[in-house]
Chain A
Amino acid sequence: MSRFETVFGSLDNYEKGHIEIINDKPTNYAFSNVFEVAAKSKPYEKVAVGKNQENLIEAIRAEGTSPWYTCAHDEFALVMDGEVEVHFIDIGQDQRAPAKSEGNVTLKADPNGKTMGHVVLKRGHQALLPANAAYQFRARKTGVVLQQALAGENTIYKWKDICLT
């Protein structure tokens, strides 16, 4: 038996780190914990936990079924906890996000188009959310999804609430 034990976090079991300041301010590091953020979020709120100009990492509490989203560019979803299906529909131009726009948008109606398929993700699994497809998360087991995304209309910012100060 290996003497090593790999420690992952989960919604129900995580331990947050800390900052020891020598000559700086903790807010400069925008330090948060994705499990803590998701534990305090409503289902499918896309809470920014990382921001580098227009680029984002969003922490999402995956619980139940999400709205349908689409985006003009690729995005990616990484499951940190739980078990989540992601379903894809090949929607037409009329339902897509504007060409060259950034960030995902919520579809105003059910998606029309061919079924592309679906993936089932567990902890550590990452999926492509391909450009111009509609996608929907369906949590088999409540968990946490991290989304590699760009800033958009669905992004929620609450740095003061989530970061070490």
Chain B
Amino acid sequence: MNVVVNATNASNKTGYKSFELGSFKFRRDEYFVYIEWKSKKGPMTHYMSADAFLRAMMRDVAWGFFYYQVNFDHVFGTNNLYGQVEMFAGSFNETFKSQGLNLTETFDTPVIMETFKAILADWTNEGFDPFAAPAETTNDWLGPKHGNNMAAINRERQVSRRMVGLPGDTPVRNDGNGYPVNRAFADVDQSQPEIHAEKGYESQVHGFNLFAHLSRSDVTWNPSVTSVCKSSLFCPTSEEYILPIKHGNDRVEWFLQLSDYILWDVEDKNTGKPRAKVVMKAGDIAAMPADIRHQGYSPKRSMLLVWENTNPNIAKLHATNAIPVYPVEF
């Protein structure tokens, strides 16, 4: 699909371009991003700090719009329809929606993806890495446009087909391939398993140090896929500071805290009303039901195993209430 991104020339004042997609308009200045749309009751404007917007958009792009809903905040976000994407403002905020101030529009995935990539490319300045923890990047997100950081925003999510380290699969991270141990995981054991494979079984007798692999992640809140058991995907990730989005589920998702701890705010998916706070420490495992949105807070860089079910029918089964929104009944 040949996609044309609707962008203006760079502002004479700030250097940033403005963008349009459907009825939505996007612009930024030195501090803030402004999202404008037309509601049934007239024009609306929503604003976010530019760093928060870029961190959220970075995840949405890197995750390919992920499993259903990515809320940039309490107003703006996207829903993945797997081939198309809904972009919304206020549609999952009880007040905006009840007052008729919301808007949802649907786009073919390549159209919204190219537009989001163009916004990210133009609005991310040299020196600012929207994937990084605040302590590991700069405040170059603010101010007038200066340069870009294409290397940071074009990182590809690492997705194993079977398991990390197998021949032809994603490699184990090490110093040599550009993944030094993160400052917060300097005490993590870097030993690899002893592998004693008989001749001819080298591709089957296999293991790697998952914790060492995670200690070398150069990004935060960006799950990679490390092992695949049919539709069961282990998607571990390293987390620090705040998950830049609120993820709204279209299926049950599970978290297993591998190290340290994360605090989760859980809200109703459709209204945003608070439902629970879940405090997960090392060894804790918990489900995120299919009717919630969640946002994590990691006081220290931690290791989290996100466990996903990629059964292509599961979203539809939940959407039609054919299966419960909760993982188990007891």
Footprint of B on A, CB under 8 Å?
Answer: 2, 4-9, 14-24, 26-36, 49-57, 73-76, 78, 80, 88, 90, 102, 114-128, 130, 133, 146, 148-150, 157, 159-160, 163
Contact = CB atoms under 8 A, between A and B. Distances in A.
A9 to B, nearest CB: 4
Interface in B176-204: 183-189, 191-198, 201, 204
A23 B273 contact: yes
Contact of A29 (B191, B278, B309): B278
Nearest to B194: A120
B205 A116 contact: yes
Given A34-B285, A76-B227, A117 B232 contact: no
Contact of A30 (B282, B309, B327): B327
Contacts of B228: 74
Nearest to A159: B330
Interface of B: 162-163, 166, 183-189, 191-198, 201, 204-212, 215, 226-232, 234, 251-252, 254, 256-261, 266, 273-289, 300-301, 307-309, 311, 314, 323, 326-328, 330
A52 B204 contact: no
Contacts of A32: 284-286
A151 B226 CA distance: 20
Contact of B209 (A56, A125, A160): A125
Contact of A4 (B184, B251, B284): B184
A117 B283 contact: no
Given A14-B283, A17-B278, A150-B232, A122 B191 contact: yes
B287 A29 contact: yes
Given A5-B187, A17-B261, A117-B201, A125 B284 contact: no
Given A21-B276, A121-B193, A128-B206, A4 B185 contact: yes
A124 B209 CA distance: 6
A148 B227 contact: yes
Contact of B281 (A9, A27, A76): A9
Given A4-B300, A29-B278, A120-B193, A80 B283 contact: yes
A86 to B, nearest CB: 8
A163 to B, nearest CB: 7
A121 B208 CA distance: 9
A33 to B, nearest CB: 5
A2 B279 contact: no
A46 to B, nearest CB: 14
Contacts of B258: 8, 80
Given A53-B309, A55-B229, A117-B201, 7 more contacts: A6-B260, A8-B259, A19-B277, A22-B275, A74-B163, A120-B196, A130-B205
